[in-house]
Structure 1
Amino acid sequence: MQRHLYEATTRVRLESFDQDTFSDEMERAWRGCDSTTLVVQAAINLLAGVVSLLAVAAAVVVIHPLLLPALFLATAPSAWAALRAGHLQYQTYLAGTVRRRRLWLLNHLMAVRQPAAELRSYGLRGFLLGQYDRVMTAETAIQLRLARRVTVTTSVGAAIGGVATAAVYLLLGLLLVDGRIPLSAAATGVIAVQAAQRALSTVTFQVDRLYAEGRHFRDYTGFMERADEYLPPPAGDRAPGPFESLSLEGVTLTYPDRDTPAVDGVSLRVRAGQMVAFAGENGSGKSTLAAVVAGLRTPDAGVVRWNGVPTTDLDPELLRARIGVVSQEFYKWPFSAATNIAMGDIDHTPQQPRIEAAATKAVAHDMIVDLPHGYSTMLDRAFAQGQDLSGGQWQRVTAARGFLRDTDLLIMDEPSSALDAPAEAALFDAVRARRGVKTTVLITHRLANIRHADVIYVMHEGRLVEQGTHEDLIAAAGLYATWFRLQKLGYSDD
């Protein structure tokens, strides 16, 4: 079940994770995975209970036919109360999805290694515990309110059921006094009534359990059915040829919770062998534009073309195989250094020389060799003999992953933001060596690193406002020239 769930979550569009409804449904679907076994167990136990109930019912009918409807009427209030309580519990669970996610997040922040240093540096212990107390107080109040409602419901059901059971015993007594059943049958009837109540209670409990777990299981199946809504649109089956050009025509993309587009009507062209750069302030749309170029996000409007063919007509897997991405928001995969790099070309089994060559381009080889177990070192201290890397070291490993892929088009989003000066210079030497052979798209704030780009596209508030070579943009005296001058002042005594 979980395998099927993960098959769905790894196929959906990247923008699905930007929607809180998707996260809520996915959280409930995870709970539904656990219900599969419980539903089967409840169904088996229910069947056994029904068989026992039928056997006792047959015995009660033999004693006197009136006892059977009376017995069912006596147990109906308790059955109703149990089912009603199950419904209340599920509705409370359904309404608490966001709280559970919030509690999970706070548990994660206070109990795992990654935020531990910053938590202590900023004295966040009290703040996070306060956040936890507020959410837990609300959760506790809701659970207490639920407990009161369930208690009232089950108490009312038990009280009515008790009165009804007394009426059944009274009926037995009247039948005995009236001479309709002998004393031995009346005694047998008392035992049968008690057995029937136990059997019916078992059936009621299993029905309630089957109902509750069935609702959770339905959350899972419902998510799997709705997952189709989050899948990428039907794609073409044409194979993309070797990279010649990529063009964007009026591309617009707006995030679900935003009123203004992150990318607004952008048109540009990247040709084979070029080194192209996207420059702009924070939040100007550079990374979003790079995600569109990489095929990770689907624009709301406009067309992306590979060699003049709309990417929607191309096989997405084959197209993605021709594009490499070094992301600004990289993940620190808890695997060995070699595996971390080899993941850049997961469809093949890179040999060690190729892994080391990619690491050398990214200025990561010497750093990895110095680790206790070299390329076999686990990059996570949660594992035995695992090691930590600094931000800059992780960035080198991530860049090595991109170089290993050796694709027609390599997109590098802030690849040197955490690197020291020698490592940054060596990295960009490797990037510039691709010019004329492979195509590179660079996103960076450090404008000195893109001076030699063939074309620089300047983004501002989601729009493409300037483009040209470094010399063209300096001469234009626009935003790019202003930013370059400000950065240059940091290295000048004037």
Structure 2
Amino acid sequence: MTAADTTADDTRTDASTPETQPASRLGRIKALFSPDAVPRHEVDDLAADPYVATWTRGYAEVAAASFWSNARRMPELLRLTLRTAAEVSRWRVVTLVVLQAFSGVFQALGLLATTGVLAALFTGRPTPDRIAAALPSLILIAAFTAATALASNISSLMQSQLSPAMDAAALARIQELCTGVELVAFDQAGWFDEENAAERGAVSPHFMLQATVRILAALATVGSAILVVAFVNPLLLPLILVTIVPRWWAAVRVARMDYKVFVRQSEGRRRVNQIAYIGQSISQAAEVRALSMSPYLTGRYRHISRRILAENIALQRAETMSQILGDTVAGIAVAAVYTVLGLLLWKSEIPLAAGGTAVIAIGRAQASLMQMITSVNSLFAEGLYFDGYVKFCRKAETLLPAPGAVAVPEDFKAITVEDVTFSYEGAEKPALSNASLTIARGQVVALVGENGAAKTTLAKLLGRGYLPDAGTIRWDGLDTAQMDPNQLRQRIAYIGQDGARFPFTARENIRVGDWTRADDPAAIESAAEASGAHEFISALPNGYATLMDRSLSWGTNVSGGQHQRINLARGFYRQGVLVIADEPTSNLDAAAEIDFYNRLRSYGGTIVMVTHRLNAVQACADHIYVLEHGRISAHGTHAELMADPAGGWYRDSYLLQQNSFTSRAGEPGTASTTD
């Protein structure tokens, strides 16, 4: 192991020492049938998350369910698959089912016609007479075979049209839910794991439909064969059914083992993907090279990958052994079927022609059973993944905002925050406690305080990113919690410190500030001019049509400060009656920040500004709220807070920044970059 591998050893194992390996012969044999016989791995920096054990436990319980409980689940999965497909196109699903039923009938009739052919050929008449006697049955066989093939081809057409539509509908549902749920959903432990599992499960209906069609086709063939065999001699029926059970057992066992390993490797796969993203992302490339991280990242990647590979090798061995056992027992059952059939022919219990038909039917049934077992395995395994999609959707639906019960006003005279308290998911104490304030129409209100004082939390509550746990936020007396959140947010322009870098053109990056407006190039450029972005956007290779992502063909990236100006332009373009500016000017110098807020004031809205630069607060704010430890400790104008004889955080911090400014700038009036 290299030094990098040693450094990157962020996993621990159990059952990895010889003492923990099965010692008895019986134990070693059982180990061949179980993927648990290899060392299990946990990733140290993720295993401490208590939620991991919570969400995987439910999936593991499903994977560990008994054979018969899983067998009983097959009809439910078939029904669920057809229902899911019917939501996309009901008539195509009906066509599929009807065609499979007709296919079974055609095959049964074709097999029965085979008896007529064999009976004619086995007679003692001259060969031309035998062929002439068999000809009507041969014509029937050809007709039924053609009809079966036609039904199969039409079924394939229906399936090929349904599958991509099902994938698109399921993935679009995830997108709809993820973009529609309350922001608090993303703070919940395990949300991203569940969303990742849902994405895998979203394409499962596609594979489940394929498996269902194959199962229906196999059932049609097996059903026709059973009818023919029952017509020949009912004694053969139970023996044929016995051949199904061992392979069914093996299929369900393989699916359970595969899913069990999938669940327990979830942490390792997530960590491998995260490491791969760090090494392959353009946004991380410079930092990776500056820190010479290649050996470190590669070592971690290989170390976890080796552990996962060892588990997968053991899984393949266990699955193969289970399939061998199932096939062996099924082979013995098949031999018994042919033995009984031979005895019946020897004792003349059935005619030779009927016996020949039975042989053909049994052979066809066996081939279809093999197809059905494979399809059952696929259906069951995909059903487990689909469970993750269904559970995620149900959970996400409970986190969607409630319908608005109060109309959203076009404007307001005053926003009042009354005794608002809010806690983040899993936090031991509230981030914001008993906050009360008033924002009058047209005011510039500043929220100031140390890092962690809950300024951004309060800003997000004002912007309807979160709902208060207690207290109310009202627009002219109307509770915003009772309003439709999307309509309310349309009245608000939220400009954050780290605006999203969308992989769109520069023009579209600004236009998404209010994508519901008709595309107005003049308004977009006006917003860019207001934010100071117009000049550098115009100098880009394709101007406003330049793609703002270097990973795309002909795309480019801009500096952090330039990106921030695009973010500001997005806010100008939105034209909200309330503008929340949460440190959007941190990459700009102090003079540029003051210029921005002056431009924003001329924009005509009501402004809530969050900043650490108190000289900008002095220059721009009409009223200031000071937050300390999640509470509003003081408020007033700049003059009132500076005149407080007790001093206070604002006065002390302002004087500290001014002294720092004077000592660094060397002369009054020089722009400071102190943050």
TM above 0.5, one fold? yes
Partner of 1:115, secondary structure, is: helix
1:315 is aligned to 484
Name the % identity. 37
Partner of 2:448, secondary structure, is: strand
> Equivalent of 2:368, from 168, 177, 199?
199
Deviates more, 1:22-31 or 1:99-108: 99-108
Cα 1:444–1:215 shift into 2, 3 Å: same
Deviations 1:248-297 (A, max 9, x none): 11111111132122212211111111111111222221111100000111
> Equivalent of 2:539, from 370, 386, 396?
370
Deviations 1:440-463 (A, max 9, x none): 111111111111311111122212
Deviations 1:80-118 (A, max 9, x none): 111221122233334444444333333322222111111
Cα 1:37–1:76 shift into 2, 3 Å: same
1:449 is aligned to 616
Q: Distance in 1 between matches of 2:231 and 2:559?
A: 81
1:485 is aligned to 655
Aligned 1:23-422 pairs, distance under 5 A = 23-181=192-350, 189-421=358-590
Partner of 2:555, secondary structure, is: coil
What is the deviation of 1:47?
A: 1.5
1:473 is aligned to 641
Deviations 1:115-172 (A, max 9, x none): 1111111122223223323432343233234323323322222232233333334334
What is the deviation of 1:331?
A: 0.7
Cα 1:6–1:195 shift into 2, 3 Å: same
What is the deviation of 1:183?
A: 6.6
Is the CA contact 1:75–1:161 (under 8 Å) kept in the aligned structure 2? yes
Cα 1:229–1:145 shift into 2, 3 Å: farther
Corresponding letter in the other structure for 1:32 = G
Structure of greater relative contact order (alpha carbons < 8 Å, 6+ residues apart): 1
Q: Distance in 1 between matches of 2:576 and 2:360?
A: 80
Q: Distance in 1 between matches of 2:315 and 2:420?
A: 50
Corresponding letter in the other structure for 1:466 = A
Deviations 1:23-57 (A, max 9, x none): 22222221222122222222221121112112222
Deviates more, 1:164-173 or 1:74-83: 164-173
Q: Distance in 1 between matches of 2:417 and 2:545?
A: 42
Is the CA contact 2:215–2:372 (under 8 Å) kept in the aligned structure 1? yes
Is the CA contact 1:262–1:285 (under 8 Å) kept in the aligned structure 2? yes
TM-score after normalising by structure 1: 0.92
Is the CA contact 2:590–2:613 (under 8 Å) kept in the aligned structure 1? no
Corresponding letter in the other structure for 2:271 = R
Deviations 1:417-446 (A, max 9, x none): 112455334323313445xx4211111111
Is the CA contact 1:16–1:230 (under 8 Å) kept in the aligned structure 2? yes
What is the deviation of 1:188?
A: 5.7
Cα 1:267–1:349 shift into 2, 3 Å: same
What is the deviation of 1:186?
A: 5.7
Deviates more, 1:105-114 or 1:263-272: 105-114
Structure 1 regions of 5+ residues with no counterpart? Answer: none
Deviations 1:178-229 (A, max 9, x none): 4545677666655543332211111222222222223333432333233221
Cα 1:361–1:167 shift into 2, 3 Å: same
Corresponding letter in the other structure for 2:658 = K
Partner of 1:445, secondary structure, is: coil
Is the CA contact 2:419–2:471 (under 8 Å) kept in the aligned structure 1? yes
Q: Distance in 1 between matches of 2:470 and 2:187?
A: 18
What is the deviation of 1:489?
A: 2.8
Corresponding letter in the other structure for 2:375 = Q
Partner of 1:491, secondary structure, is: helix
What is the deviation of 1:395?
A: 0.5
Is the CA contact 1:249–1:303 (under 8 Å) kept in the aligned structure 2? yes
Q: What RMSD in Å do the two structures reach over aligned CA positions?
A: 2.3
More helix by share: 2
Partner of 2:568, secondary structure, is: helix
Cα 1:200–1:445 shift into 2, 3 Å: same
Deviates more, 1:72-81 or 1:162-171: 162-171
Is the CA contact 2:498–2:584 (under 8 Å) kept in the aligned structure 1? no
> Equivalent of 2:628, from 437, 440, 460?
460
- Aligned pairs, how many? 492
Deviates more, 1:237-246 or 1:77-86: 237-246
TM-score after normalising by structure 2: 0.69
Corresponding letter in the other structure for 1:339 = E
Partner of 1:451, secondary structure, is: helix
Deviates more, 1:107-116 or 1:131-140: 131-140
Q: Distance in 2 between matches of 1:239 and 1:493?
A: 50
Partner of 1:471, secondary structure, is: helix
Deviations 1:321-356 (A, max 9, x none): 221110123110111212111211211125222222
Structure 2 regions of 5+ residues with no counterpart? Answer: 1-168, 665-675
Q: Distance in 2 between matches of 1:447 and 1:136?
A: 51
Is the CA contact 2:401–2:485 (under 8 Å) kept in the aligned structure 1? no
Q: Distance in 2 between matches of 1:86 and 1:329?
A: 45
Cα 1:314–1:57 shift into 2, 3 Å: closer
Partner of 1:251, secondary structure, is: strand
Cα 1:480–1:403 shift into 2, 3 Å: same
What is the deviation of 1:177?
A: 4.8
Corresponding letter in the other structure for 2:653 = W
Deviates more, 1:112-121 or 1:35-44: 35-44
Partner of 2:624, secondary structure, is: strand
Q: Distance in 2 between matches of 1:252 and 1:18?
A: 17
Deviates more, 1:8-17 or 1:375-384: 375-384
Deviates more, 1:358-367 or 1:477-486: 477-486
Partner of 2:627, secondary structure, is: strand
Is the CA contact 2:252–2:377 (under 8 Å) kept in the aligned structure 1? yes
Is the CA contact 1:243–1:409 (under 8 Å) kept in the aligned structure 2? no
Is the CA contact 1:90–1:212 (under 8 Å) kept in the aligned structure 2? yes
Q: Distance in 2 between matches of 1:118 and 1:197?
A: 60
Cα 1:419–1:493 shift into 2, 3 Å: closer
